[in-house]
Chain A
Amino acid sequence: MSNTPAILAEGLHKSFGKIHALDGLDLVAEEGNVLGILGPNGAGKTTAVRILTTLLLPDSGRAEVAGLDIVKHAQTVRTHIGLSGQYAAVDEDLTGYENLKMFGQLYHLPGSRAKRRASALLAGFDLVEAAGRVVKTYSGGMRRRLDLAASLIVSPPILFLDEPTTGLDPRGRLAMWEVISDLVAEGTTVLLTTQYLEEADQLAHHIAVIDHGRVIAKGTADELKTQIGGERLELTVAPGGDLHAALQALRPHSAGEIQIDRERRHLVVPVTRGAQQLAAIVRDLDAAGIALDDLALRRPTLDDVFLSLTGRAATEADQLEEAALGRSSR
């Protein structure tokens, strides 16, 4: 059993009319690991999750979850998985407690155990005070936590999280990361989709970057960063400053080609050791007598990943996809 991956997808294809949502998707997640699926809107992330959670049939290809074929053994697969989607899928007109109790009963827990489990999850997700309130009154972060709690009722060994932090404020996002890390620490296998490189970096052991329904890069976060290049230092030279002298001073620190926008006096310098280099760079610029308007160390974003892997920005891919769909994508 230990050789069987928790999640395995081979050559998954799925089309909706003319749109190829998945175009030969391959994925592997080992037991106890977190697989991060990174991609822009419309890349096929949600379609992949819906197929792996038995909500959708693939056109071709095959997939196994917990060693079970998702088409032939859909009902058994459902006893091994939890799903928390982009849309907090809870009944807005019931309270948090009533929602969890209802889902517990639908997992076929006896009434008393369903009640106990609902209370324990509300405590674990910091929702005790809101337990008796209808979900309509919850904040976005509270709804997401309740939705995640609902997917943990029977502690499924494999958890699918479709953009668990999209739309959350930074505090809500951190809280969600903490919960996910705890679950993984206790042995849960997680497949997580995200649009944020930072999130995949924080949580995932392995990352698959997907675009147009296909994996275009995969590896650990470090492997991907090496492939993409590391951080970038962005400087704006003060008006009247000597751009050429700045370039001279920066060149020894740069790990690659420095981009210059002369009109805005803006320079982008690829660096490898980020913060450690910062002091030396500032010293050298100062010695050369160059005043700065702005200086920032920027970590690579999904846009950078896409730029370096596909030659176009993620947002561009997004717009193309939307144009193809003829409407804004879900």
Chain B
Amino acid sequence: MKNSNLLTTEKVAPSVHSALYWTLADTLVLAKRQLMRIPRVPDELVTATLQPILFVVLFRYVFGGAIAVRGTSYINYLVAGILVQSVILGSAFTGIGVATDLQRGLVDRFRSLPMAKSAVLTGRTLADLIRSTFIILVVWAVGLLVGFRPEGTILNWLAAMGLLLLSSFMFSWFSALLGLVLSSVEAVQQSFVIWALPLMFASSALVPTSTMPDWLRTFAEHQPVSLIINAVRGLVLNQPDATATWQAIAWCVGLLVVFIPLAVWAYGRRTAR
């Protein structure tokens, strides 16, 4: 072994830059790590993309004939719901990834480095935004193939994209928090069944809420996932619903204000075994 190479005069660079600079730099390094992993572990992205594609096609052809929605075709109604669902399901990989890093000891290494504490999480959630953009575009394209006809202007559609990414960011942080607190891949997966399925199905995603029993309808019409779906649907069908849009944005921002500090705290706490 040529061990003369082992040691070096390299020292930690003196901090000529601000803490904010290093937080951003570390975030980009770790976001790049996530993006580099995509072609190496393609099944993650494939699963996250195939699922909403299947939903669009299945629901369009299985329920499409049986469900009448007022004012538009079922596929036009459906796409907004599936887009939000795909964002929620895609965020599961954030929590699973965080839990995997914890189990493999990688988080220990990151914590022992003189890097920005929050970068491990911001890097991951930033990379997730890029992944979500891809998934949203694929679902949009598949929708177009099976009869989805968005209405209105491209500005409205871009606004819908922006709202979807904002909600994706929020769900990623929530998922990261779950990963840190539950710290096991299986537990994170199970938790998604418990919280994500009710929010996704007891909503306006697949069918109008008007036929639901009163107690369920009250929940379904006011829970954040429905509000996000209604806002996106309004924007892509040229029936913008200002109230739903502002409520959806308020929910996303409000939850981010709660989840980000909680997740950073959970990451930095020095109590875990």
Contact = CB atoms under 8 A, between A and B. Distances in A.
A251 interface: no
Q: Chain B: interface residue count, which band?
A: 35 or more
Contact of A124 (B1, B106, B111, B272): B1
A186 B7 contact: yes
Secondary structure class of chain A's binding surface, majority of residues: loop
A159 to B, nearest CB: 11
A110 interface: yes
B201 interface: no
A138 B273 CA distance: 27
B11 A154 contact: yes
B115 A182 contact: no
Given A83-B109, A94-B33, A124 B270 contact: no
A103 B270 contact: no
Interface in A22-61: 50, 53-57
B211 interface: no
A75 B6 CA distance: 24
Contacts, number: 129
B8 A150 contact: no
Nearest to A58: B270
Contacts of A255: none
A83 B108 contact: yes
Interface of B: 1-13, 15, 22, 25-26, 29-30, 32-33, 36-37, 40-41, 104-106, 108-115, 119, 270-273
Given A90-B106, A106-B113, 11 more contacts: A55-B112, A89-B108, A91-B37, A93-B40, A94-B40, A109-B10, A117-B10, A121-B5, A121-B6, A154-B8, A186-B6
Interface of A: 16, 50, 53-57, 75, 78-79, 81, 83, 85-94, 98, 102-103, 105-110, 113, 117, 120-121, 123-126, 134, 150, 152-155, 175, 178-179, 182-183, 186, 188, 330
22 contacts: A50-B108, A78-B113, A85-B105, A89-B108, A91-B106, A93-B36, A94-B40, A102-B32, A108-B13, A108-B114, A108-B115, A110-B13, A117-B10, A124-B1, A124-B2, A150-B109, A153-B10, A154-B10, A154-B11, A179-B3, A182-B3, A183-B7
